[in-house]
Chains A and B, each alone.
Chain A
Amino acid sequence: MGKYRLLVFLTVAAIFILSTLLAGCGRKPMDKHLRYSVGAEPQTVDPRKSTGSPEATIEAQIFEGLTALDRYDHPIPAAAQRWDISPDEMKYTFFLRESAKWSNGDPVTAKDFVFAWRSALDPNLASGYAYQLYYLKNGEAYNKGLATAEQIGVKAIDDHTLEVTLEKPTAYFLSLLAFHTYYPVHRSTAQSNEKWAAKVQTIIGNGPFKMTKWVHNSKIEFERNEYYWDAAKVKSNKLTFILTENSATELALFENGLIDMGNNPPISEISRLIKEDHLQIHPYLGTYFYCFNVTKPPFDDPKIRKAFSLVIDREAIIKNVVRGQQKAALGWVPFGLPDAKADDDFRLVGGDLLKDKDVETAKTLLSSAGYPDGQNLPPITLLYNTSESHKAVAEAIQEMWRKNLGVNVSLVNQEWKVFLSSRHRGDYQVSRHGWLGDYADPMTFLDMFTSDSGNNDAQYKNSDYDKLITLAKKTSNPTLRLQALHTAEKMLLDDAVIAPIYFYTQLTMVTPHVKGYTHSVLGVTYFKEAYLE
C-alpha cells in the first residue's frame, strides 16, 4: 500500500501547488478601461447595410451623421454645424463642419454623404435598410431601378455644403439623420474595396472612436479617434466591446469583473441586481403586444378581440413575470415621443386608450358577441417564438383568459424564423409580437398597420386608417399631423387589432464606476463622453 500513499500524496501536492499558483497569478490584470458587452457578433459595420441593434451601437462609436441625438433624443448638430430648411420643408441645406475629419485625417466632405446615400440606395448593394432613405426625393424610385442615381435628392453644392430634397415634408427628418443608414462612408475606400467593412484596417470612420481590433464572435476594441472634431470631449482612450449573446455568460463576466457594463442581464437576476445597485433602467422605444389575426375566427369580431385585450392584467405581468419596471401599455405608441409641441409627450397627450384588467367590460363584450362565459368559442391557439420569457408571459395570459373569460387557449411555440414566417403569412390566430421604433416619431409605430404595409401581420385593412396615415405623411402642419396620428391610434385600439401589453425598458447592468454614457430610447448606447471613474 506504501506506493499508493505516495501516489495520493503526490496528487494532493500537485493540486495544492497548482491552486496556489493559480490563486497567486489570479486573472490577468487588465489595463483599466471600459468594457461593455454589446450583444451578438455584428453582421456588418457598414452603416449603409446593417439593420441590427448591436451594429447600431458599434457604428455609433465610429461614425457620425449630420445630426446626433442629445440625451433627450432631440437632434443636435454633429457632422453638420448648422442647416437651413426651406419654408415648404422640402429642401434642407446642411453646412458641414470644416474641422470634421475621417479617422485617417481626410476631411469629411459633402461628397462623402452623397456617395454614401446613393450607394445605400443602389439596388446592387442590396441594403436591407435602403427603405430608410426612401424619404429622399427619388430614393425609392432609384432603389427600384426606376430613376438614376443623379436624380436622388442629395447634392454636394461644394465640399462643405450638402443640399437634400425630400419626397414630401417629413417632420422628423432631422432625427432620422442621426440614424446609421444616413451616416457617411469614406468614399475612396468604399469605392475601391467592396469588403472594406470586414477588415479593421479599412474601416475608416468619422466618429469619436476608431476600431483597432475585431476578433469575430469575441470582441471589438476601439481607440479614441484623434482626428474627431470634438475629440476634446471624448473621455476614454480605449473601449472594448465583448460579443456574446448569452445572458448567463454576460452576468458571469460582470460578476467576475471582466466587463463593466452589459445590456442583457438574465431576468431571474433582476431583483438582486437592483438591490445591489448594479442595474440602471432606461426607457426603450418599443411595445410588447399580442397581435390578432383579424381574418381568422373568432378574432374577425372586434368585440372578441377587445374582450381578450381588456382582460389582461398588465401590471401583474410586469410585477411578477417580466420584472424590469416596464410600463403597462394602455395605448400603442410608447412614451418618449414628441407631440405637436416638442415638449409634449405623444403618449401623455393621447392618454390611456384602454383600461388595465377590465374584466367586467370584457365579459359583457364576449357575451354580446354570442359567447357568454366563453362557451362555444372555436379552439384558439396562441403562437409565440420559443423562449423562456415569452413562454412565461404566454402562460400568465393564458391563465387570465381562462380564469376571467372561461376560454381555454392552447399555446404553441415555434423557432424564431419559422415563427416569423407563420406570422408574416398570417398563419395564426393570436401571436406574440414586439415592435421597436426606428426613429423618434409616432409614425414608426402607426404606419405598420396600413393596408399595404409589409409589417401588417394582423392583416388589418381599414381605408379610414390608411387615409389618416397618408394625411399625416403629407401635411407639414404639425397640429394637423399629430391629430391624424392620435385619431389613427385610437381607431387601432377601438378595433382592438392588437392587445398592447407593456412598453419595453432597457435594462443595463453596470458598475457604479461607469459614468457619462448616454442611452437613446432607440436602443443605441453612446460612449463618446463615457469614462471609468
Chain B
Amino acid sequence: MLPFIIRRIVSLCVVLFVIITMTFWLMHTIPGGPFTTEKSLPDSVLKNIEERYHLNDPLWKQYGDYLTNVLTGDLGPSFKYEARSVNDIIAESFPVSAELGIAAVLISLAVGIPAGIISALHRNRWPDYLAMFFSTIGISVPSFILATVLIYLFAIKLDWLPAALWEGPEYGILPALALAGLPTAFIARLMRSSMLDVMAQDYIRTARAKGLSSFTIVYRHALKNAVIPVVTYLGPLTAGILTGSFVVETIFSIPGLGRHFVTSIYNRDYTVILGITVFYSALLVLLNFLVDISYAFLDPRMSLNSSKED
C-alpha cells in the first residue's frame, strides 16, 4: 500500500509541474492581458499597474516566481478582483461547487443504479424501454437546455422553486437536477450492460441452481461485481461535475468555482487561471487515486501493488 501511495504522490508532483508549465506558457500566448480594457489606459498608468503586479518582469522570471510561490502554497493575488487572493477565491467558491456537485453525483447514483438494474432484469420489456428512453434523452440533452426547461417549468410556470441564486437548500434542487441529468443517464446505461454481463456468468447460474431467491442473487452476488464500472466512472465523473459545472453555475447564478474556471480565462486573470487549473488537476488525481483504492475493497482480485489488470 505504502509504495503505491508514494508512487502516486511523485506522479502527482510531476503531473502538476507539467500542467503549470503548459498552462503558464499557453495563457501568455493568448492576445490581450488582464489590463486590456475597452478604454485603453494611459501608458503611465499601465506602467504603474504592471509594476505593481510584476507583469513587466521577463516571463521566465514570472514563471520562476510563480513556481516558488506555489511550493509555499501561495497561489498569488487575483489581477481582476482587487485585494482577493486565489487561495481566498478557491476557499470561498469550491465548497459551493462541491455541495452542488456531490448532490448531483448522489442523485445520479440513486437514480442511475436502480434504473440500470431494473432495465437489466427486465431486458426488452417495458421497464427497460422506459428507462432507456429517458437515459437516451438524458445523454443527448445538454445541461443548459435541461436547466432552462427545469427553470421554465418549476420556477416560472409552477412557481414551486426559485429560478436561480444560492440562498438555501431549495435553491439547490434545480441546479443539482440539471447537473445530474447526463451522469444519471450514463450510469443507468453502464449499470444495465454490466449487470447483463454479470447475470450471464457461471456463478450466478450456480446461485440460481442452489435455489436462492432472485433478490439475494441480485443484491448479494451480482451487484458488487456489476457496480465496478460505475465506480471507475465515479472518479472522472466527480471531477467532471466539479469542473464542468460552469454552465449550470452561470445559469443559476451560483457562486461556485466552475464559473471562475471559465471567466478567469476571459479576464486573462493569470493567477486565477493557473490556481484553479492546479487545484482541479490535484483534485482529479486524488479522486482517481481513491477510485483505485476502492477497487481493492470491491474486488480482492485487484491488487494495488501489481500493475493494474483490465
By a beta-carbon cutoff of 8 Å, the part of chain A in contact with chain B is 4, 19, 22-23, 25-28, 41, 43-44, 46, 49-51, 123-128, 130-131, 140, 143-144, 194-195, 197-198, 215-219, 242-246, 248-249, 252-253, 255-256, 258, 415-418, 420-422, 424, 434, 438, 454-455
Contacts and interface: CB of A to CB of B under 8 A. Distances in A.
B56 to A, nearest CB: 12
A246 B49 CA distance: 29
Nearest to A22: B160
Nearest to A25: B170
A43 B81 contact: yes
Contacts of A4: 127
Contacts of B236: none
Contacts, number: 153
B9 interface: no
A167 to B, nearest CB: 14
Contacts of B53: 126
A23 B158 contact: yes
A243 B249 CA distance: 13
B268 A198 contact: no
Interface in B121-166: 127, 148, 151, 155-156, 158-166
Interface centre among A49, A123, A438 (most CB of B within 10 A): A123
A249 B36 contact: no
B41 interface: yes
Contact of B163 (A140, A252, A421, A422): A252
Given A43-B82, A126-B49, A256-B163, 5 more contacts: A22-B161, A25-B170, A216-B255, A252-B156, A421-B32
B31 interface: yes
Contacts of B206: none
Contacts of A417: 30-33, 36, 266, 268
Interface string B66-98: 000000000000001111100001001100000
B276 to A, nearest CB: 14
Given A123-B48, A249-B253, A28 B167 contact: yes
B37 A128 contact: yes
A126 B52 contact: yes
Contacts of B83: 44, 46, 194-195, 197-198
A307 B95 CA distance: 57
B35 A242 contact: no
Interface string B246-284: 000011111100010000001010000000000000000
A122 to B, nearest CB: 9
Contact of A215 (B43, B252, B255): B255
B79 to A, nearest CB: 9
A253 B251 CA distance: 11
B143 to A, nearest CB: 14
Nearest to A141: B44
Contacts of B51: 123, 126
Contacts of A26: 159-160
A258 B164 contact: yes
B32 A420 contact: yes
Contacts of B251: 246, 248-249
A217 B158 CA distance: 27
B306 interface: no
A23 B157 CA distance: 12
Interface residues of B, number: 54
Contacts of B253: 218, 242-244, 246, 249, 253
Contacts of B156: 252, 255-256
B160 A23 contact: yes
B42 interface: yes
B82 A49 contact: yes
B134 to A, nearest CB: 13
A455 B127 contact: no
B202 interface: no
A126 B77 CA distance: 15
B45 interface: yes
B48 A43 contact: no
B261 to A, nearest CB: 12
A242 to B, nearest CB: 7
Contact of B164 (A51, A194, A249, A421): A249
B307 interface: no
Contacts of B31: 417-418, 421-422
Given A246-B250, A252-B155, A454-B43, A128 B35 contact: yes
B166 A249 contact: no
A253 B36 contact: no
B160 A130 contact: no
Contacts of A127: 45, 48
Contacts of B58: none
A445 B265 CA distance: 31
Given A126-B49, A215-B255, A255-B156, A421 B36 contact: yes
Contacts of A218: 165-166, 253-255
Contacts of A434: 38
Nearest to A123: B48
A128 B158 contact: no
Contacts of B266: 415-417
A420 B42 CA distance: 15
B40 interface: yes
A255 B163 contact: yes
Contacts of B163: 249, 252-253, 255-256, 258
Top 8 nearest A-B pairs by Cβ distance?
Answer: A417-B32, A44-B82, A256-B163, A198-B83, A217-B255, A252-B163, A126-B52, A195-B83
A73 B306 CA distance: 76
A215 B166 CA distance: 10
Contacts of B3: none
A531 B52 CA distance: 42
Interface centre among B31, B251, B254 (most CB of A within 10 A): B31
B135 to A, nearest CB: 17
Interface centre among B42, B53, B159, B266 (most CB of A within 10 A): B42
Contacts of B48: 123-127, 130, 143
B81 A258 contact: no
B41 A131 contact: yes
Interface string B232-256: 0000000000000000001111110
B281 to A, nearest CB: 23
